Amino acid sequence: MYDIRDFRSDTVTRPTIEMREIFIDAAVGDDVFNDDPSVHQLQDRVASMLGKEAALFVPSGTMSNLIGIMLSCRPGDELLCEGNSHIFHYEQGGYAQIAGVAIRTIETGDGVVTVPHLEQLGVRPDDIHYPRTRLVTLENTHNRGGGKITPLETITEVCDWAHERGLRTHLDGARIWNTHLATGIELSRLAEPFDTVNVCFSKGLGAPVGSIISGSHEDIQQARRFRKVLGGGMRQAGILAAAATYALDNHLDGMIADHMNATRLAEVAAEIEHLSLPLGMPETNIVLFDVDPGWGTAGDLVQKLASVGVLMLAIGPQRVRAVTHLDLTSEDTEVAIEAIRGAMA
């Protein structure tokens, strides 16, 4: 009855017809034997975009982050990260469950970790009672922070702080593309301060599957071992890698439209009675808005919207998330706005 407009996540994009044609023509090999040309092409290209020596194609961002953690930490080590970060919240505690790594988190509100935050956590002294603090992770843009950007200056300060203390650094850059587009700063500059970097193709870029872990030659050689034991060795993965390459060629620049649609949605939401923007205006493609408890819950609103074909996500009792992406136009955004107005009235 209603066309579905899916604002739940930027992962819901379907491969375009043109991208499906890429699957057909992709040159493939066996990537576990390390001879898939399309995988190599993507890995080389992304390593160079990120200014890293090497890169490895993996099935998901969760695996990419876990490998990043395993490259820096042994069992009994500890990582420091933001309290709302994807690594802490949405990866099943893989750092502990699989890597045997302890964690300490810091609440920042908007997801931007600064040196004063890290000073509060501190590095544990060398003492047999404690885990060994080994790694700092950042998330840019920050998912639960409403797509918040960590500025380059802050990245540099945080990574310097970590490296001066003998710690390593990992970037969860699932949406680093959005930071690059919103700031105009080269990807290599945003990635340079980190030892390892995860980027995802299945978010705003609109590829069906895939992420990359990048870093030094030595780290990526070891990453191949970790990927295999985690079950991420893929055979004719060139089909997927070619789609990711296509997305870099054809979808990256257009993602700026997602930011405009998110801004438009947020501007209107801010003016609707009983709605507010807890983290202010979006900087990229994620809009968070809170529903006044006097009106109802986030679940109530999401249900009403779904009944007219507009899908959003309740990510807290009062908090709704809407994410803009390739499969949503400015007209779809206007439809969503009217649906919100109707539901709230």
Ligand X SMILES: *Cc1c(COP(=O)(O)O)cnc(C)c1O
CB nearer to ligand X: pick between 255 and 344: 255
CB nearer to ligand X: pick between 110 and 172: 172
> For the window 57-96, what string marks contact with ligand X as x by the rule CB under 6 A?
---xxx--x--------------------x----------
> For the window 203-232, what string marks contact with ligand X as x by the rule CB under 6 A?
x-------x---------------------
Among 133, 137, 143, 214, indicate the residue that binds ligand X (CB under 6 A): 143
Shortest spacing between CB 204 and ligand X, in angstroms:
10
Per CB under 6 A, the segment of 95-103, 146-154, 200-208, 270-278 that binds ligand X is 200-208
- Contact between 111 and ligand X by CB under 6 A: the answer reads no
Cβ–Cβ under 8 Å, residues 100 and 75: yes
Name residues contacting ligand X, limited to 122-141 (CB under 6 A): 139
CB nearer to ligand X: pick between 138 and 162: 138
How many residues sit in the footprint of ligand X (CB under 6 A)? 13
What are the residues whose beta carbons fall under 8 Å from the beta carbon of 236, sequence distance 6 or more?
Answer: 28, 29, 30, 31, 36
Calculate the alpha carbon distances from 243 to 54, 208, 210 in Å.
20, 8, 9
Which residue's CB atom is positioned nearest to ligand X? 61
Shortest spacing between CB 144 and ligand X, in angstroms:
8
Shortest spacing between CB 202 and ligand X, in angstroms:
6
Per CB under 6 A, the segment of 23-31, 42-50, 72-80, 198-206 that binds ligand X is 198-206
CA 219, CA 208: separation in Å to the nearest integer?
26
Nearest to 325 by CA among 207, 167, 211: 207
Shortest spacing between CB 141 and ligand X, in angstroms:
8
The secondary structure of 308-323 as a DSSP string is TTEE-EE-SSSEEEEE
Shortest spacing between CB 304 and ligand X, in angstroms:
26
Question: Alpha helix locations (H) across the chain?
Answer: 17-25, 37-50, 61-72, 86-89, 94-97, 115-121, 152-164, 176-183, 187-191, 217-229, 238-250, 256-271, 298-306, 330-344
Among 19, 176, 200, 322, indicate the residue that binds ligand X (CB under 6 A): 200
CA 10, CA 258: separation in Å to the nearest integer?
10
What are the residues whose beta carbons fall under 8 Å from the beta carbon of 166, sequence distance 6 or more?
Answer: none
CB nearer to ligand X: pick between 135 and 275: 135
3-class DSSP assignment, residue 77: strand
Name residues contacting ligand X, limited to 147-176 (CB under 6 A): 172, 174
- Cβ-in-10-Å burial (0-12, 13-18, 19+) of 230 comes to middle
CA 29, CA 34: separation in Å to the nearest integer?
8
Per CB under 6 A, the segment of 195-203, 213-221, 263-271, 324-332 that binds ligand X is 195-203
Interacting residues toward ligand X by CB under 6 A = 60-62, 65, 86, 139, 143, 172, 174, 200, 202-203, 211
